[in-house]
Each structure stands twice: as structure tokens, then as C-alpha cells.
């Protein structure tokens, strides 16, 4: 199979890029939100969760895949939840085939400056490497004034069943429990399992973690993102999400590379870059 990159129409005619590697792995990225919605491994298995009831509209965030969170994580600031990047129209910047790579760009506009008065440039790059997926987010400050931001790659991973899913690498680490108003806590168990709602921010987390299910293990690495968010809404909160399919919580876990605890501050002319890799 030959590597390829093509701009095509996706759901509701929204444009997306289909990226294919020579080993058969493929990825799909929408210009709406710069949103990666699918990564099919060379073995033919989809590794990302995408809700079948997700709304694909110009003003709506896509439920699943990898939403780009910028310039604000969750409700931790004056902007709408998770900022504006995940619902903005990104520009296709560049594609290449060795390795298969596609880049998208988002820059400030009159609409963004109404809610966040800063000049910025964001570049998202998606690369399919040998049996792995790499996402890079770079934020630059081309303007005359300094700004600070928080960000995340809000990665929804597909799992056969959340009850048999484990997160490796967080043993003994402190976290903020978002289900209890950011109450500080510490993980006692060696591997994190799921028996109810989990919404945790691990500050200064390890750069190498893994998601383990009975039939496979997925390594998750990061660089530049000091924090990690783990989220599953469980039954009650999942049912309250109109764009999450019934019982969808059973087949997803979010393991998010993030920068939250210490916002990134950029002086004029400076830039920052964070990377997340999924290795199967």
C-alpha cells in the first residue's frame, strides 16, 4: 500500500484529511477544530473512541477523538469551557508522505480577539510513524504583548470495556479530584482501575504511561506537557451528555496530555511545543 494524504468531505460535508501510511495505518483529521477523529492501527483496529451521536457542526465540539484544548482548560478561566480552538475552523497548512504527516494552523481573528485579546499562532501536526501516532501542538506569540494559556490534547481512547481497563504509571502520585471540587488526593493503587466516575488532574505526571486491557497494551508518551488528565464520566454523567451514545462511557477512557497547573507564559516572539505519542 502506498502512503497518501487527501482532503475529502466528511460528516455533514465538513472537510477532513485522510492520512494513510504504507503499512495500512490511517488517520482522519477534520479542519473543524483541527480534530483527529480516527487512528486505525496497521493491524486494522481503531484505537480512538468517537461517539456515534457526536454532532458535527460549525459551532459544536466533536465528542471523541482528540479535541485540541486551547487557550483554557475546562472552566479554569473566563472563557467558555475548554476554550475556542476545538470549535474553530483550522487551515490545512502542509502534508508530506515520508513519514505521512499533516499540519494545520489556527491564528487569531476578530472573533477570537473578542474573547481573548491576544495575537497567536497554533500549529497542530499529526504524524503516522511505525506502529505509532504522534500529535504535536505548537503555540507561538507573534504579537507585541505577553500572554499565558493552558492546553491539552483531550485524547479519547477506545477500550473493550471500561471495567477491565487499567492505567499504568500513576502509582502513589498526587492528583486533584475534579469530582470533589479539586480536592487533593493520592492514588494508593499500583494501577488505576475504574469502578465509577473518574476525573483527575495529575500534576507533574510521568511522561510515559500505558493503558492496559485484557487483549492489548497501548503506551502513551508525552513531552512538553507536564500534567495528565484521566476522565471517564461513568453511567449517570455519561447519560446526561446528549452527544455521547447510550452506554458509550463503557468503551472510552480519556488520557490527556495537558499543561494546567502552571500555565505557559509566552513573551513576544516566544513559542511552546507539546507532544503526545500513542504506541501500540
**What domain count does the chain have?**
1
3-class DSSP assignment, residue 55: coil
Q: What is the pLDDT of residues 75-123, one digit of tens each?
A: 999 999 999 999 999 999 999 999 999 999 999 999 999 999 999 999 9
Distances (CA, A) of 77 to 80, 148, 206, 263: 8, 11, 26, 11
Return the bridge partners of 275, or none: 136, 223
What is the domain-level CATH number for residue 144? 2.70.98.10
User: Annotated catalytic sites, by residue?
Assistant: 154, 256
Hey, what's the cell of 51? 461517539
Of 153, 155, 159, whose CA–CA distance to 249 is shortest?
A: 159
How many degrees, rounded to 5, is the angle at CA 153 between CA 152 and CA 159? 130
Provide the 10 A C-beta neighbour count for residue 271: 14
pLDDT in tens, the chain (280 residues): 789 999 999 999 999 999 999 999 999 999 999 999 999 999 999 999 999 999 999 889 999 999 999 999 999 999 999 999 999 999 999 999 999 999 999 999 999 999 999 999 999 999 998 789 999 999 999 999 999 999 999 999 999 999 999 999 999 999 999 999 999 999 999 999 999 999 999 999 999 999 999 999 999 999 999 999 999 999 999 999 999 999 999 999 999 999 999 999 999 999 999 999 999 9
3-class DSSP assignment, residue 143: coil
DSSP code, position 44: S
| Domain, as residue range, for 22 | 4-279
Amino acid at each position: 500500500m502506498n502512503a497518501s494524504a487527501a482532503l475529502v468531505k466528511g460528516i455533514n460535508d465538513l472537510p477532513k484529511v485522510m492520512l494513510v501510511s504504507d503499512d495500512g495505518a490511517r488517520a482522519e483529521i477534520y479542519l473543524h477544530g483541527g480534530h483527529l477523529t480516527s487512528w486505525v492501527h496497521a493491524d486494522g483496529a481503531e484505537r480512538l473512541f468517537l461517539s456515534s451521536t457526536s454532532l458535527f457542526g460549525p459551532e459544536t465540539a466533536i465528542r471523541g477523538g482528540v479535541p485540541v484544548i486551547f487557550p483554557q482548560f475546562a472552566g479554569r478561566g473566563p472563557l467558555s469551557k475548554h476554550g475556542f480552538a476545538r470549535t474553530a475552523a483550522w487551515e490545512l497548512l502542509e502534508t508530506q508522505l515520508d513519514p505521512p504527516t499533516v499540519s494545520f494552523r489556527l491564528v487569531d481573528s476578530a472573533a477570537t480577539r473578542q474573547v481573548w485579546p491576544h495575537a497567536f499562532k497554533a500549529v497542530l501536526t499529526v504524524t503516522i510513524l511505525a506502529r505509532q501516532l504522534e500529535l504535536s501542538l505548537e503555540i507561538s506569540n507573534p504579537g507585541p504583548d505577553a500572554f499565558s494559556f493552558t492546553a491539552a490534547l483531550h485524547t479519547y481512547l477506545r477500550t473493550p470495556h471500561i471495567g477491565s481497563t487499567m492505567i499504568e504509571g500513576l502509582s502513589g502520585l498526587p492528583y486533584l479530584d475534579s469530582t470533589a471540587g479539586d480536592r487533593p488526593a493520592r492514588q494508593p493503587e499500583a494501577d488505576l482501575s475504574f469502578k465509577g466516575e473518574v476525573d483527575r488532574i495529575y500534576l507533574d505526571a510521568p511522561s510515559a504511561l500505558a493503558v492496559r486491557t485484557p487483549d492489548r497494551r497501548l503506551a502513551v508518551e508525552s513531552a512538553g506537557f507536564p500534567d495528565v488528565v484521566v476522565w471517564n464520566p461513568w453511567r449517570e454523567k455519561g447519560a446526561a451528555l446528549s452527544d455521547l451514545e447510550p452506554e458509550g462511557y463503557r468503551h472510552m477512557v480519556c488520557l490527556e496530555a495537558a499543561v494546567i497547573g502552571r500555565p505557559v507564559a509566552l513573551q513576544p516572539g516566544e513559542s511552546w511545543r507539546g507532544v503526545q505519542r500513542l504506541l501500540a
